[in-house]
Amino acid sequence: MGSVKEIEILKHPEVNKEGEGEFIFSDRYSVFDWGEMPDHIDKKGAALCVLSSYFFHLLEKNSIKTHFIGLVEDGEIKKFPELKSYSNRMRVKLLRVLKPEYNQSTNTYNYDIYNKEKRNFLIPLEIIYRNALTEGSSIFKRIKSGAITFKDLGLDHEPQPGEKFSTPLLDVSTKLEHTDRYLSWEEAQKISGLSDENMKKIKDLIIKINNIITTECNKVGIENIDGKFEFGIDTNGEIIVVDVLGTPDECRFVMDGFHISKEFARILYRKTEWYKEIEQVKKERGRDWKEHVKSKPEKLPNEVKTLLSQMYLAVTNEITGKKFFDVPDLKSVINGLKKYAV
């Protein structure tokens, strides 16, 4: 179980056979790596599930292979065009998760298993695309600290907040470690055991999928700032798209300068004593910081909870072009939220 969705395994994946399972999207949410927050956002899980199924449908139309099977509605498995209502259950093919060996004494990971296995597994990487850089982007912190240079990002100049790119910046991090860390592309290829051909395929797929998401968002006045994808290798040795994509939890969507995501909850909680404490404890304690935090996050005001729910539901209605949820239009919801952002 994750902080926002659970997985029900129907058939376990085997060495030469994919499994099958269902993602159950909850109304839980998490900020600042805290885990489950005290409030649930009504129907958020269903909204994310339906929206992701819409993008899986578009990927299928564009001959992009994925692990998506369909949504569960009234006990039946249905593709997006067949849906009559919303659902929070997604049926998917399951690949093996091959965990790297962790050495606690050296705090390092051994990825040798990926040099032996060639089929039916989750690639242990998270791939990030950036169509623009917001002021708070981690890119600026990493450049300032010397962790990367603008040349590492394929740029010929120092990037600026608000800058947009005709071709997205691509970034990569670990997926299966205790704390995800950014990697160079050389290191990413080394630990995952990917061939030059498969690494190129992944990069090409990111560009293609990003274009699909961006085009759909632009139709309704939403800007697709950045996002992340996960991939696997199926039993045929083919690269496939896995997990979930194209939702406000996987992407940074903005309309009229307003973030359409749980970023709004982050903005509110940054004003609290609880947030100040966890930031301080993180600096002092490192990885086991949470158990040393004495305060707890307070519940959100009821109107804010309602508006956050409406935001998730409205963005699904508008991008899919189908009114799954009876809520106001997205611009009206955003105007309601803006008064709390002061």
Half-sphere exposure of 178 (CA within 13 A, CB side): 10
**Residue 108 host element (H or E):** strand 108-110
Predicted local distance difference test score (pLDDT) of residue 261: 86
- Among 260, 293, 296, residue whose Cα is nearest residue 278: 293
For 44-100, write each residue's pLDDT tens digit. Answer: 999 999 999 999 999 999 999 999 999 999 999 999 999 999 999 999 999 999 999
For 205-214, write each residue's pLDDT tens digit. Answer: 999 999 999 9
Tell whether the model's pLDDT for residue 1 goes beyond 80: no
Tokens coding 147:
């962790």
Tell whether the model's pLDDT for residue 3 goes beyond 70: no
Q: How far apart are the first and last CA of the chain?
A: 35
Tokens coding 77:
């498995």
Tell whether the model's pLDDT for residue 187 goes beyond 90: yes
For 281-337, write each residue's pLDDT tens digit. Answer: 988 887 788 899 999 999 999 999 999 999 999 999 999 999 999 999 999 999 999
What is the chain's mean pLDDT, rounded? 94
> What CA–CA distances, in Å, run from 168 to 155, 198, 207, 210?
11, 19, 7, 8
- CATH number, domain 5-338, options 3.30.470.20, 3.30.300.30, 3.40.630.30, 3.40.190.10: 3.30.470.20
pLDDT band at residue 153, thresholds of 50, 70 and 90?
Answer: confident
Tokens coding 81:
């065009």
Tell whether the model's pLDDT for residue 4 goes beyond 70: yes
Q: Are 23 and 49 in contact (CB under 8 A)?
A: yes
Q: What is the mean pLDDT of residues 121-136?
A: 95
Predicted local distance difference test score (pLDDT) of residue 285: 83
Report the alpha-carbon distance of residue 290 to residue 281 in Å, rounded.
8
Tell me how many helices (H) and strands (E) the chain has: 9, 14
pLDDT band at residue 160, thresholds of 50, 70 and 90?
Answer: very high
